């Protein structure tokens, strides 16, 4: 029997809806200030809380100092499992066991664009996950800053970032037990002061029996609407695969290059033309990048690139995306073709004039 470890869900017999639904609804409510850890609180006689990074109804994320390794800063994710166990001790034990499975899986990941998980523990009735603290702004902040300045992000910069994200996803998808992220979006991508990209944010685990042919680990729950493929709605993880991450990566690229959120998959299912082609929002986007984005964001998974490497090849013009009836970029007008292929057009024109001149000489 093969198994799938699905982040942010609990077993079907435990709850009447996916754990991601409980988690998402809880995270919408901020944690009571009186429940937050105060600065200088010491956890596990090792981690000293410095500041609050973020919070929600399910817990909080703190910046902390590692007292055993002076100078090392960590991000500590506090997860209040009792919020989903709702006082049931059996469910609480199941949740804690699954949290420990998550930590074990995440601790095995090793890639320069992924934060390293170094520890996990239980204290004061809460569970904690310790990982590398990633300094810098997330790409949502970077995008908002550019928009406030009245400019688009440069395509070459965005493609460099996407190349690094793609490398991390190829690593995750290629593991003996493939890993899906399922919540790729600008706010989950950090740009460090050194210019490196880090794909952040992880959730909770579930052991789910699948068929005997597939074993997949899924990080995160339902994703965020504008970046979520249609097969991911409703918390159903049985039909998601690497193409779900490709959709989210394409939607993220769309947002970064156009400054606009893409129409979500449900809107597009009801109204095919809801997704505005990227070049209509930013004419500086190259045609090959537009075509690759629309390919990645095809509604049906079968119409998307089969893997991240293929999507990257399309972004850089090494392969041409197939054409489909809906959602494809419009054919190039002659003027656009000449503008984008100016060197080739000039060479062709010169060759044509030379041929006319030689023909005239031969006739004379």
pLDDT for residue 203? 44
Any known ligand binding at 77?
yes
* Residues 53, 221, 210, 240, CA torsion sign: negative
| Residue after which a domain boundary falls, among 132, 163, 186 | 132
Beta bridge partners of 116: none
- The three-state secondary structure class of 295 is helix
Domain assignment present for 208? yes
Domain assignment present for 268? yes
Domain assignment present for 168? yes
Write down the catalytic residue from 66, 138, 167, 183.
183
Sheet containing strand 197-199, strands side by side = 137-138, 189-191, 197-199
Residue 359: count other Cβ atoms within 10 Å of its Cβ. 10
> How many Å apart are CA 197 and CA 193, to the nearest integer?
10
Residues 146, 118: one domain? no
- In angstroms, the Cα distances linking 72 to 86, 117, 130, 134 are 36, 14, 12, 11
| Annotated catalytic residue 32 | no
The pair of structure tokens assigned to 92 is: 């609480």
pLDDT for residue 356? 52
pLDDT for residue 158? 98
pLDDT for residue 331? 40
Residues 7, 44: one domain? yes
Domain count, the chain: 2
Residues 141, 180: one domain? yes
The pair of structure tokens assigned to 141 is: 């902040």
> How many Å apart are CA 277 and CA 329, to the nearest integer?
7
Residues 115, 157: one domain? no
Question: Contact 163/312 with Cβ under 8 angstroms?
Answer: yes
pLDDT for residue 59? 77
Residue 86 domain boundaries: 3-132
Residues 332, 186: one domain? yes
Residues 124, 173: one domain? no
Residues 225, 250: one domain? yes
Domain assignment present for 357? no
DSSP string, 121-172: EEETTEEEEEEE---SEEHHHHHHHHHHTT-PPPHHHHHHHHHHHHHHHHHH
Residues 152, 281: one domain? yes
Domain assignment present for 351? no
Residues 114, 153: one domain? no
Residues 39, 180: one domain? no
Residues 71, 206: one domain? no
pTM value surpassing 0.85:
no
Q: Judging by DSSP bridges, how do beta strands 42-43 and 3-6 pair with one another?
A: unpaired
CATH of the domain at 41: 3.30.200.20
What are the φ and ψ backbone dihedral angles of 4, each rounded to 5 degrees? -125, 130
| Residue after which a domain boundary falls, among 97, 132, 167 | 132
| Residue after which a domain boundary falls, among 132, 165, 197 | 132
Domain assignment present for 345? no
pLDDT in tens, the chain (364 residues): 333 343 433 222 232 333 333 333 333 445 555 578 999 999 999 999 999 988 866 678 999 999 999 999 999 999 877 766 677 888 888 888 878 887 888 889 999 999 999 999 988 878 899 999 999 999 999 999 999 999 999 999 999 999 999 999 999 999 988 888 888 999 999 999 999 999 987 543 332 223 333 445 454 444 578 999 998 876 544 478 999 999 999 999 999 999 999 999 999 999 989 999 999 999 999 999 999 999 999 999 999 999 999 999 999 999 999 875 544 444 433 344 334 445 544 554 555 455 555 555 555 5
Q: String of b and e for 73-89 (b: at least 16 CB within 10 Å)?
A: ebbbbbbbbbbbbeeee
> How many Å apart are CA 349 and CA 344, to the nearest integer?
9
Element (H, E) at 90: helix 89-107
> How many Å apart are CA 120 and CA 130, to the nearest integer?
6
Residues 219, 328: one domain? yes
Domain assignment present for 346? no
Domain assignment present for 328? yes
Q: How far is CA 212 from the centre of its chain?
A: 28
CATH of the domain at 200: 1.10.510.10
């Amino acid at each position: 029997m093969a198994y799938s470890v699905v982040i942010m869900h609990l077993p079907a017999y435990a709850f009447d809806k996916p754990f991601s639904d409980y988690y998402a609804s809880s995270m919408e409510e901020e944690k009571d200030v009186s429940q937050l850890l105060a600065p200088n609180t010491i956890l596990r006689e090792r981690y000293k809380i410095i500041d609050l990074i973020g919070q929600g109804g399910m817990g909080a994320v703190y910046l902390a100092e590692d007292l055993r390794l002076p100078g090392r800063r960590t991000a500590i994710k506090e997860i209040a499992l009792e919020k989903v166990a709702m006082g049931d001790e059996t469910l609480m034990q199941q949740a804690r066991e699954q949290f420990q499975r998550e930590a074990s899986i995440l601790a095995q990941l090793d890639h320069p664009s992924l934060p390293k998980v170094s520890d996990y523990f239980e204290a004061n009735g809460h569970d904690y996950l310790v990982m590398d603290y990633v300094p810098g702004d997330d790409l949502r902040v970077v995008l908002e800053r550019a928009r406030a300045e009245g400019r688009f992000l440069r395509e070459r910069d965005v493609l460099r970032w996407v190349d690094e994200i793609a490398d991390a996803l190829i690593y995750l998808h290629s593991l003996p037990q493939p890993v899906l992220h399922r919540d790729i979006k600008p706010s989950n991508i950090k740009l460090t002061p050194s210019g490196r990209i880090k794909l952040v944010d992880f959730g909770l685990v579930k052991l789910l029996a699948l068929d005997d042919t597939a074993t997949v680990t899924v990080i995160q729950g339902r994703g965020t609407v504008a970046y979520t493929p249609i097969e991911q709605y409703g918390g159903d993880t049985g039909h998601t695969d690497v193409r779900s991450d490709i959709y989210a990566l394409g939607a993220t690229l769309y947002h970064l290059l156009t400054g606009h959120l893409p129409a979500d998959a449900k809107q597009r299912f009801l109204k095919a033309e809801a997704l505005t082609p990227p070049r209509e929002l930013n004419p500086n986007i190259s045609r090959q990048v537009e075509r690759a984005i629309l390919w990645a964001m095809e509604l049906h998974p079968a119409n998307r690139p089969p893997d991240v490497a293929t999507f990257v090849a399309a972004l850089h013009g090494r392969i041409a995306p197939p054409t489909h009836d809906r959602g494809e970029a419009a054919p190039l007008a002659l003027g656009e073709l000449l503008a984008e292929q100016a060197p080739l057009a000039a060479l062709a024109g010169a060759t044509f004039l030379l041929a006319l001149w030689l023909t005239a000489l031969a006739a004379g």
